[in-house]
Amino acid sequence: MTLVFADSEKDQPNVSVSDIMKQVTDKAKAIVVVHYAGVPVDVHSILEQTNHSIPIVEDCAHAIDSVDPKTGDYVGKAGCLSTFSFHETKNIGIGEGGLLVVNDKKLWRKAQIVREKGTNRTDFTAGRVAFYTWVDLGSSYLLSDIDAVMLWSALQHIDLIQNARLAVWDAYDQKLLCPPNCVYNKPSKSLRANAHMYFLEFNDPEMRTEFCKAMKENDVLVATHYVPLDASPFIEDQRSKILLPAGEPCVQATKGSKSLVCLPLYADISTQEVKKIITAVIEFALSKGAPRLVAADEDHWEQIRVLRNQNIDCFTFTKDITRDEHWNFMRKHSDTYRVTVQDGKCVGFIGHVEQDARLATSAKEKGVAQLMWESCEQEVGGLDVKVLLDNQRSLSFFRKLGYVPDAKALEDGQNPVVLHRDTKL
Ligand SMILES: Cc1ncc(COP(=O)(O)O)c(C=O)c1O
């Protein structure tokens, strides 16, 4: 039997189903998938595309409590075998231990024998045979009773554990904005799954090394992850001895191995610890020149006025504003006015008066407007959005953030039109 590796998806570490399908031949004996970070791989698509002719083994080590979006059931029921891990690093961690799910009658008896050290002891305890003896290979895979007690207790509290983990994931997601200068990228919300991991992605490996160093200095334990199996010394050795065929390098997996960093995520992490980690990450991004939001003050008036007039087509009040007009306005609302400063320059402003917000930016990098909007939303919440109907740039910006025009307002020909967060998203 030989091993063939499939690469990761372009946008996340999970194995790519289309790459699996490219590697599958009629010699394929089994397909092994890892639901990496608990994010479900579309096993159903593989089953369909192979007409259910190739058994699938699911590595669910990360995936306890993950839900399969196709069935709405827990992950780990589609393949013929699934393995779960209770290693200390997993969501339900008791130190060491695991669970084998057998979804194939033929393999069930085999599993019982393997579990009982290669004997038919299961038949003996069920009273089917008078004595037990060795019938196949096996080993000592059972949990000790003490571990089993710990596991039972943890499983009884799985909702508590999972809710705590999900809350940490959400705190990172909400508080860590993507720095517009791309120091790192945040994971997409679609990778939340069972909150097994929260990883940042660094495009520059040196930046990642610096980040890990800075986190260590701040006493934040981060982990780089994901060394691709096909590039491991063992596989390289097997290939050099022609025990395994050479394969195409897994380019995406290699890229992931050089870019990902996991932040601390465990059920009993304290709120203060999470805050400390968020502050350390933000401080790092700022130290690398990421724009920051500060309260607007007198020094910013002129830059705000210029920005406002440069973006005049986006506002309903179309007359150029003068410095005096603007100062009169800002003086009254200075506590709700923020500017984004990058390299000492004001590159954007966001202000709101009684929930009605105005936003403009001159920054070329993507993400500055999002940084401003999300920071302001976090601070005040429930901001109203009104956009002129011919302002496609703003409409598409807010659409990406999950805002859609109010259907009734559109029908009534309202302009500027009110946008609402689409609760279905
Ligand atoms: C993807 C994956 N599979 C399998 C395992 C092995 O789990 P265990 O240590 O419980 O054998 C791990 C452990 O880290 C893992 O990350």
**pLDDT, tens digit, for every residue of 289-337?**
888 888 888 788 888 888 888 887 777 766 777 778 777 877 787 778 8
| Atom 1 in ligand 1: residue holding the nearest Cα | 61
Q: What count of other Cβ atoms lies within 10 Å of the Cβ of residue 144?
A: 10
Q: Cα(46)–Cα(31) distance, rounded to whole angstroms? A: 9
Q: What is the mean pLDDT of residues 77-93?
A: 97
Q: Which domains does the chain have, with CATH numbers?
A: 17-156 (3.40.640.10), 158-287 (3.90.1150.10), 292-383 (3.40.630.30)
What residue's CA is closest to ligand 1, atom 10?
A: 85
Residue 392's H or E segment, with its range, is helix 392-400
The mean pLDDT of the chain is: 90
DSSP 247-293: ----HHHHHHHHHEEEPP--TT--HHHHHHHHHHHHHHHHHTT--EE
Q: How many Å lie between the centroid of ligand 1 and the Cα of residue 411? A: 55
Q: What pLDDT score does 180 carry?
A: 67
pLDDT for the residue 328: 81
Least confident range of 44-58, 160-174, 371-385: 371-385
Q: Cβ neighbours of residue 149 under 8 Å, at least 6 residues apart? A: none
- Where is pLDDT greater, at 231 or 312? 231
Residues with CB under 6 A from ligand 1: 34, 59, 61-62, 85, 87, 89, 98
Is the pTM of the predicted complex or chain greater than 0.75?
yes
Among the residue ranges 193-197, 276-280, 340-344, the one predicted with the least confidence is: 340-344
On whether the CB atoms of residues 339 and 293 are closer than 8 A, the answer is: yes
Q: What's the gap in Å between 197 CA and the centre of ligand 1?
A: 14
- Residue 59 CA: nearest ligand 1 atom is 3
* Mean pLDDT for the stretch of residues 234-238: 93
Which of 18-32, 124-138, 172-186, 400-414 is least confident? Answer: 172-186
Q: What are phi and psi of 174, to 5 degrees?
A: -80, -40
Q: Residue 408: its pLDDT value, please?
A: 87
Q: Identify the pLDDT of residue 318.
A: 66
Give the integer Cα–Cα distance in Å for 291 and 283: 11
Q: Does residue 375 contact residue 348 with C-beta atoms inside 8 Å?
A: no
Q: How high is the pLDDT of residue 133? A: 98
Q: Which among 14, 35, 87 is the best mutation to test ligand 1's pocket, defined by most ligand atoms within 8 Å of the CB? A: 87
Residue closest via CA to ligand 1's atom 3 equals 61
- Among 95-104, 132-141, 299-308, the range scoring the smallest mean pLDDT is 299-308
Question: If you average pLDDT over residues 393-419, what whole number do you get?
Answer: 86
Query: 259 alpha carbon to ligand 1 midpoint, in Å?
Result: 21
Residue 215 CA to ligand 1 centre (angstroms): 25
- Reported as a pLDDT band with limits 50, 70 and 90, residue 199 is very high
Using the predicted structure, report yes or no on whether residue 425 has a pLDDT greater than 60. no
Residues of the chain above pLDDT 90, percent: 60
